[in-house]
Structure 1
Amino acid sequence: MSSTIYAVAPQRLRALIISQAERRLADQNSFAQAADARAATITGASSALAAASAGLLGVALTGTPNFPLAAGSVVGVVGFATAAHHALRSARCLQFHAAGYPPNAFVEDIDGQKSQALIEAEMMAELDTRLAFNSEVLRDRGDMIDAALKRLWATPFYVGLAIAITWCAGAALPNA
C-alpha cells in the first residue's frame, strides 16, 4: 500500500497502526523461532535415522550379504537424509524482517527534514511490505517442513517395500 493514504491519517491513528504492525512483526518472529525449533528437532531425528540406516547397510553387506536388508537400508538412507535436508532448509529464512528500525534508517529523513507524518506514513507502507514478505516466508517454510515430515513418515513404508520386493525377487531366483 502507498504511504500517501497513511500520510493523511491523524497522528494518534498513525501511532496505533505502527504499534499494531510492530506487534504483528514480533509475532511473526515468534512463529519463526517456533519453526526453527521444530526444524531442528526433525532435522536431528531424520539425520539419526539416516545414520542408523547407513549402519544397517554396513551390517547387511558384512559376511554373507543380505540383499533385501541392504536395499531397505539404502532406501532408508535416502529417505531419511532427504527428510533432514527439507527440515534443514525450512529453517532458512533469508531476508526475514525483524520488528523495529535501526536508528540510522532515519538519517535521510532527518537530513531531508521530512515531517513526522510523512516519516510515519513511509514506515507504515514499509511495515505492510515487511509483513507480506514475512508471511510468504513463513508459508514457504511450512511447506518445506510438511515435505520433511511426509518424507520422514513415508520412508519406513518404502523401506519395507524395498525389502519385500528384493526378498521376493531373490526367492524367485533359483539357488546357484
Structure 2
Amino acid sequence: MNVILIGYRGSGKTTIGKKLANQLWKDFVDVDHEICKRFDNSSIADIWQTHGEPRYREVEVEVTRELIHRTNQVIALGGGTLMQPGAREAVEQAADAKRIYLYADPTVLHRRIEADAQTAATRPALTAQGGGLDEVKAVLNDRDPVYRAVADVVFNVTDITPDEAVRLLVTKHL
C-alpha cells in the first residue's frame, strides 16, 4: 500500500513523510524532488524561471503518474500537484493507497514557510502577492476543497509535532 500525503507548502509532507516511511518500512519519495532531478537538480524557482511553470506542471503530472504505479511508498505530493487534472486523476484512481491531507491553519503554514530558509531561495511565489500570509490564505482557499475531495483522511497538523503526527497516523489511520 502507498500512503499519499497531500497538503500545502509547510504542512509537513516531507518531514512527516520521511518519518512515516521509516516507521512503516516504506520508501519515501517527494514529487517536487523527483521533478527537480529531471531538470539536473535545479530548484523549483530555477525551473520556473528557465522553463516556465507550464513545463514544470507537465513534468509534475508525469512524475505523479509514474510514482502512483509503484508500491510500498510514502509519497509527498507537491502543494500544487492536485491542481493539475492529470495528476489529480492519477491520485484519485490510485489502487491500494491511503490519501492523507495534512491540514494546518494558514497562519501556522506561513510561520513554517518563513522559518524555512530554503523556501525563499528554492521556491517561487505562487501569486502576484509575492508570498506572505495573504498569499497562503488565497492559495489555500483554492486548494483546500480539492485536497479535501481527494483525501481519504483529513489530518490536522496545526498544533502537533511531526513525531506526534506519525504516531497518531500509524495508530489511528493506517
Fold shared per TM-score above 0.5: no
More helix by share: 1
More strand by share: 2
